[in-house]
């Protein structure tokens, strides 16, 4: 669950940076009262922490016991 939340926040941050790069428009700052506002800064920190969390996704083994489709196929095919 935490992974999905972190990825969602990372997507929001990516969209915001894309908006800044393409249109020079900071969506977070617009919605939260400017770049230096406390709410904006909290959102930026949370998105940054989410990005750090998502680094761990690169190094995780995503296969789980019982979810190996090849072994399930071999078992049912015999």
pTM over the 0.85 mark: no
Residue with tokens 């894309």: 18
Residue 78 lies in a domain: no
Residue 77 lies in a domain: no
Summary mean pLDDT of the chain: 86
Residue 63: band (very low, low, confident or very high) from pLDDT cuts 50, 70, 90? confident
CA atoms of 27 and 20, how far apart (whole Å): 8
Q: Rounded to the nearest 10 degrees, what angle do helices 2-23 and 38-58 cross at? A: 120
Residue 11: band (very low, low, confident or very high) from pLDDT cuts 50, 70, 90? very high
- Average pLDDT over every residue of 58-71: 69
Residue 67 lies in a domain: no
Residue 36 lies in a domain: yes
| CB-based burial label for 12 (10 Å; 0-12, 13-18, 19+) | middle
How many structural domains comprise the chain? Answer: 1
Domain residues for the domain of 26 are: 2-58
């Amino acid at each position: 669950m935490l992974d999905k939340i972190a990825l969602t926040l990372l997507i929001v941050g990516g969209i915001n940076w894309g908006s800044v790069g393409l249109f020079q428009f900071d969506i977070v700052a617009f919605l939260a009262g400017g770049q230096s506002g406390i709410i904006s800064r909290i959102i930026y920190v949370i998105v940054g922490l989410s990005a750090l969390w998502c680094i761990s996704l690169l190094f995780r083994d995503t296969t789980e016991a019982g979810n190996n489709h090849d072994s399930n196929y071999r078992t049912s095919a015999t």
